[in-house]
Amino acid sequence: MTYIVTSPCVDVLDKACIDVCPVDCIYEEEGVDRMVFIAPDECIDCAACEPVCPVSAIFAEDDVPEEEKQYVQVHYDYFEKSKDEARAKVDDIAGAPSD
């Protein structure tokens, strides 16, 4: 199991979760990604990231709220398919970024 970052993170990018992750499995490409992504194959399910998220955007995969389930596949796509495809899905789900 992994942890999943959901919509409250989009365009917030606090990054406190990155600082506390003991295995450095949380990624974002500065200036490109609208949210952080947790690598499913690297996450050790320690939950260190969850309590430090100021917008409560991080959930254990099995606990992702129904209305946020789309982000599960987005995370897997980011690491297993195409980062650009995952970014496009974030835009589709959250709406185009505002300038």
**Domain boundaries in the chain?**
3-94
Contact 66, 6 (CB under 8 A): no
The reported pLDDT for the residue numbered 96 is 79
Report the mean per-residue pLDDT for the chain: 94
> What is the CATH number assigned to the segment(s) 3-94?
3.30.70.20
Distance CA 26, CA 42 (A): 9
Residue 99 pLDDT exceeds 80: no
Q: Determine the average pLDDT of the residues in 11-23.
A: 94
The reported pLDDT for the residue numbered 68 is 97
Residue 39 pLDDT exceeds 90: yes
DSSP β-bridge partners for residue 15: none
The reported pLDDT for the residue numbered 5 is 97
Q: Which residues of 22-51 are buried (b: 16+ CB within 10 A; e: fewer)?
A: eeebbbbeeeebebbbbbbeebeeeebbbe
